[in-house]
Amino acid sequence: MDRTVRQEQIDRWTEAWRNSPERQVAALALSASDIKKVAFSQQAANRMHQRFSLELETLPVTNQEHSGRCWLFAAANVLREGIAKELKLESFELSQSWLAFWDKFERANYFLERIIETAALPTDDRTVAFVLSTGVHDGGQWTMFVNIVEKYGIVPKDAFDETWQSGNTRTMNYLINRSLKAAAPKLRRLVAAGAPEEEIRALKNDVLGRIWGFLCSCFGEPPRTFDFEYTDKEKVFHAERGLTPRAFADRYAARILRDTVSVIHAPTADKPLHGTYTIRFLGNVEGGRPVVHLNLSMEEMKSAIIRQLEAGKVVWFGSDVGHDGERERGIWDDRCFGYEMLSGLDLEISKEDALDYGFAAMNHAMVITGVNLVDGKPNRWKIENSWGGENGVKGYYVCSDTWFDRYVFQAAIEKEYLGELADLAAQEPKVLEPWDPMGTLAD
């Protein structure tokens, strides 16, 4: 069988293209315009207005700037809503810099431990290659946020505010990862040479100490205590002196961290519904909680989310925002883009195949703050993003329910809104390989 492309085939395809009015109209449009703009349907977008039958009143959006800290911003935004409600605050933010500082520091230690753990394997081993590709990045998952808060606590934003580096992380991350890559071969050679454990640990700790100093230069030295000062809606001033970050977290965050389950919708053959799954080498805090996901049907996930919204609580979730989005209008909707009609390409792919073949996976975390229900069924969702207030409606976005079905992969749900499904979270998880799509990081 001839496997090459033959000229007679090209001639036949060219003739078909010339005789197609659709392809000729597409050629006229695409010769001078952005594909995305040509494919965008204003008629479909008209259905994506920001009015919702169930909508929570929430604080103004935040801005992660030029960083991949969306998962930390979204998680902090979930916590702040409860704090602001309890203390009757009109505005409030938790320190995302605090969370990012400790995540990067712990992530460096986690990386070095994995280098030591895999030192007996060759560098071209897939697991070693994966570890070397991780290093310190901005992205993460819900349980990784929990690990940071449980170990180091949390502080208000004015106790550890943003710096240039916290909002512009590329070069900082590059330097940290360069130092980790420089350390990796040295550690592996010590292990290969049978060096004493004390010598291996001394080198690791020297690298970690240098990274600590660099992080302090980039973020500032994290405070051990702080004063929590605020004025409530009734204009009454309050001050709590000498708080520790752990004490603050214990008071305002302990319950939600303890009682929240990471649920996923991963309709792949290797992940039966109602099973739990963990991913080898996915983590940030050595000795912290493992990342464990409970796999639910999409209907089960949506029902739990709606119950949590009905209780007046917003929901952290992870999705793939790289598909069918219009940033200026603040819309994610697969029906808003007529790519198949415009291109003539077959673009349909199931969610299962999208995961298995690397087309889609979680890459961004946000907060669900509302839903529009028609006859008890959702048709669009309100989303609090962390990209500032310029796009959408003051930084709030909307997604269609069909887009939700295709591209939402994870949510953090409090146990009481899962009902009987919550008991499933306690089962022993199946261990997945490090490169499983459920181990991707939101950034």
Q: What residues have CB less than 8 Å from 178, skipping those under 6 apart?
A: none
Average pLDDT (257-277) is 97
pLDDT for res 325: 96
Give CATH for domain 54-343+351-439: 3.90.70.10
Residue appearing with tokens 């003739």:
15
Q: Are 378 and 298 in contact (CB under 8 A)?
A: no
Cα 129 to Cα 118: distance, rounded to the nearest angstrom: 10
pLDDT for res 395: 97
Q: Which two tokens stand for residue 361?
A: 């996976």
Q: Which two tokens stand for residue 422?
A: 């919550």
Q: Which of 277, 304, 303, 276 is nearest to 424 (CA)?
A: 276
Average pLDDT (221-238) is 97
10 Å CB burial of residue 242 (0-12, 13-18, 19+) is exposed
CA 327-329-333 angle, to 5 degrees, is: 75
Helices 96-117 and 197-219: angle between axes, nearest 10 degrees: 160
pLDDT for res 408: 98
Q: Is 385 a catalytic residue?
A: yes
Average pLDDT (89-111) is 97
Three-state DSSP class for 20? coil
pLDDT for res 293: 98
Cα 257 to Cα 145: distance, rounded to the nearest angstrom: 9
pLDDT for res 2: 82
Q: pLDDT tens digits, residue range 122-161?
A: 999 999 999 999 999 999 999 999 999 999 999 999 999 9
Q: pLDDT tens digits, residue range 291-313?
A: 999 999 999 999 999 999 999 99
Cα 137 to Cα 364: distance, rounded to the nearest angstrom: 14
Instruction: Check pLDDT > 80 for residue 7.
Output: yes
In 31-161, at which residue ranges do the beta strands (DSSP E only) sit? 54-55
pLDDT for res 130: 95
* Annotated catalytic residue within 77, 147, 295, 385: 385
pLDDT for res 1: 77
Average pLDDT (326-349) is 96
Q: Is 399 a catalytic residue?
A: no
Instruction: Check pLDDT > 90 for residue 195.
Output: yes
* Annotated catalytic residue within 70, 218, 336, 399: 70
* Annotated catalytic residue within 284, 364, 372, 399: 364
Q: Is 66 a catalytic residue?
A: no
Strands 292-295 and 325-326: unpaired
Q: What is the mean pLDDT of the chain?
A: 97
Q: pLDDT tens digits, residue range 369-403?
A: 999 999 999 999 999 999 999 999 999 999 999 99
Domain ranges of the chain: 54-343+351-439
Q: Which two tokens stand for residue 365?
A: 């975390």
Average pLDDT (31-40) is 94
pLDDT for res 278: 98
